[in-house]
Amino acid sequence: MLDMTGSGNETASHLKQNGRLTVMFCAFEGDPRILRLYGEGRVVREDDPLWADYRVKFPTNNVGVRQIFHLQVSRVQTSCGFGVPLMKLEAQRELLPNWAAKRGKQAIDDYQKEKNSHSIDGLAAPGLAGD
């Protein structure tokens, strides 16, 4: 999963703490369904030897890429999704990619070091907290 620069870095920090990762997909149209993928995850950043292998699987025209999450799935669970609301996607917002492109790579790297080095509960984020 490609992770973009944002105001926090919770997933990476918690992966560093215990390695667990859950991804949940919800059907917002059609039949109500929820799919959860459980497993062990890891953070892959630019200095990781696996970066080049994983990065080519995603669009390359975005400056705001922070890291990639790799999930080794160990359990899959589905549920009814009866409580999931019906919603319609109108469009993707271009605000984040435009914000990152306007700043450029060095400014994004600086932002990540300043704003993304720790989770909101103080856990260090891999590759950003001086480790």
Phi, psi of 35 (to 5 degrees): -125, 130
pLDDT tens sequence across 101-116: 999 999 999 999 999 9
Is the CATH number 1.10.10 carried by domain 2-82+92-115?
A: no
Q: How sure is the predictor about 127, in pLDDT bands with cuts at 50, 70 and 90?
A: confident
Token output for 118: 């720790």
> In the predicted model, what is the mean pLDDT of residues 119-123?
91
Domain positions in the chain: 2-82+92-115
Mean pLDDT of 52-62: 89
What is the pLDDT of the chain when averaged over all its residues? Answer: 93
Number of Cβ atoms within 10 Å of the Cβ of 107: 12
pLDDT at residue 4 in the model: 92
